[in-house]
Structure 1
Amino acid sequence: MTDHSIRGKTVLIAGGAKNLGGLLARDLAAQGAKAVVVHYNTGATKLAADETVAAIKAAGAQGFAFQADLTTAGAMEKLFADTIAAVGRPDIAINTVGKVVKKPFVEITEAEYDEATAVNSKSAFFFLKEAGKHVSDNGKICTLVTSLLGAYTPFYAAYAGTKAPVEHFTRAASKEFGERGISVTAIGPGPMDTPFFYPAEGKDAQEYHKTAAALSPFSKTGLTDIEDIVPFIRFLVSDGWWMTGQTILVNGGYTTK
């Protein structure tokens, strides 16, 4: 019988230095992962990455951090190659990378669109490609998207629009990788209480989002808390392996499909 537990597994987390990715790295180490590799984007995040690696090691797992701008196929190939050189083939690969753009449609520049596409779509595509090549048989792959994929709203054309292709990537990858026992999912949190949320939203929008979910009164911030997302990802990359090809919105009733 295939072991779908996290214990003894090797994990790679793109965007794993801080916020949701950092908490997830710590959690999976505490769940008994053998090794957790965290990716971080720039030198500005190195300190957070080092702190997360220290926490991983304190939990009894091997911990490594690699820096890369994952908007090129070559950089993604190198990240997986570095991971394999350090700890072997990953059993679990999770991509939390994303970039929020909130602007009126007619004000979005070509440069902003290109950057959103590179971060939200292109990097997700090549993460799935490399994961499909290198994740162990019976492995798990999960990508973070956004609950805005279920919303009817203005101003997020470049953000939700460049995350939307990941739904299709997930379906295709799950069908192709399934013959090796690999499950592939995407999870779409609601607006999260992280430093990425506040710069993109004005005060009025912040207050709206804090009351928009059906369960907002029961959240400590009114928003989606990263502590509420981690258990869902943990489940999808372990006992929830029978779920594949799906995009799941986890947002306390903020929006649905």
Structure 2
Amino acid sequence: MTESTTRIALVTGASRGLGRSTALKLAEQGVDVILTYKGSESEAHAVVRQIEALGRRAVALQLDVADSRSFAAFAERVKTVLANTWHRERFDHLVNNAGIGLHASFAETTEEQFDQLTNVHLKGTFFLTQKLLPLIEDGGRIVNTSTGLARFTFPGYAAYAAMKGGIEVLTRYMAKELGSRGITVNTIAPGAIETDFGGGVVRDNPQANAQIAGVTALGRVGLPDDVGGAVAALLSDGNRWITGQRIEVSGGMML
């Protein structure tokens, strides 16, 4: 591929977990990556090296998705990176992956916790995408991240799931309004995954892991590559006619 035809994806929160897997799966498909990290610069650069080892280009940029005031400056950094690294003005795919977990009952969730979840998951996705729109190619793709918890319920996730429910509605509106530019917008909704998300309880607690596997059609808990591979597949050429959809990647959890 020439620089003008190489696809470029921007993946937020890609220094670890689902974002890291998504970035690597995209690189395996021949996609170059701009990845963001909040604080783990060394982990982010390790992902850059892994992508480069796959023969693709990658750049890591620091970003706090909870700080919407920083988005205009971040967009300028992306613009500079595109010009200097790829001699391009726009990138092709945006994956809004960065997030945080919270486990607290409805009765005990504080306003501060609620606001933090709003800033990261809902406000962050809304306004970061808005600021990056001029840099996304016509005919490009956007993937937002929801959760299986927006469909099924477990006590302790009311605030988190409510934010993701908002993301699913937002996705449909974005798909409608950006369709005139040929941009597709979809939601990936992971089920329980073995990562350090939420303190790593799904990965590290054998009882919780077994309980979830027992209510999952495919009989196990998900792995990061299950989701990263699904995002990469959704961004492949064969899925250009899918937009405004919620795609759950949970192995059939709580059917």
Structure 1 residues not aligned, in runs of 5+: 1-6, 217-221
- Equivalent position of 1:4 in the other structure: none
- Equivalent position of 1:3 in the other structure: none
Preserved contact between residue 209 and residue 223 of structure 1 (Cα < 8 Å) = yes
% identical aligned pairs: 31
Preserved contact between residue 100 and residue 198 of structure 2 (Cα < 8 Å) = no
Q: CA RMSD in A?
A: 1.8
Q: Distance in 1 between matches of 2:129 and 2:244?
A: 12
Q: Distance in 1 between matches of 2:177 and 2:133?
A: 9
- Equivalent position of 1:115 in the other structure: 116
Q: Distance in 2 between matches of 1:255 and 1:77?
A: 41
Structure 1 residue 199, shift from structure 2 partner: 4.3
- Equivalent position of 1:73 in the other structure: 68
Secondary structure at the counterpart of residue 138 of structure 1: strand
Structure 2 residues not aligned, in runs of 5+: 83-88
Q: Distance in 2 between matches of 1:199 and 1:252?
A: 19
Preserved contact between residue 101 and residue 200 of structure 1 (Cα < 8 Å) = no
Which amino acid in 1 is paired with 2:228? V
- CA distance 1:200–1:80, change in 2 (3 Å): farther
Tell which deviates more after alignment, 247-256 or 204-213.
Answer: 204-213
- Equivalent position of 2:41 in the other structure: 46
Preserved contact between residue 70 and residue 123 of structure 1 (Cα < 8 Å) = yes
Q: Distance in 2 between matches of 1:78 and 1:247?
A: 31
Q: Distance in 1 between matches of 2:253 and 2:22?
A: 22
Q: How many residues align?
A: 242
Report the TM-score when normalising by structure 2.
0.88
Secondary structure at the counterpart of residue 107 of structure 1: coil
Preserved contact between residue 17 and residue 48 of structure 1 (Cα < 8 Å) = yes
Deviations 1:33-74 (A, max 9, x none): 2x31110011xx111101011112222222111112111323
Preserved contact between residue 147 and residue 255 of structure 1 (Cα < 8 Å) = no
Match of 2:211 among 201, 208, 231: 208
Structure 1 residue 171, shift from structure 2 partner: 0.7
Structure 1 residue 175, shift from structure 2 partner: 0.7
- Equivalent position of 1:156 in the other structure: 157
Q: Distance in 2 between matches of 1:105 and 1:249?
A: 24
- Equivalent position of 2:246 in the other structure: 247
Structure 1 residue 172, shift from structure 2 partner: 0.8
Q: Distance in 2 between matches of 1:199 and 1:229?
A: 17
- Equivalent position of 1:12 in the other structure: 10
Structure 1 residue 154, shift from structure 2 partner: 2.1
Q: Distance in 1 between matches of 2:61 and 2:182?
A: 28
Q: Distance in 1 between matches of 2:23 and 2:200?
A: 25
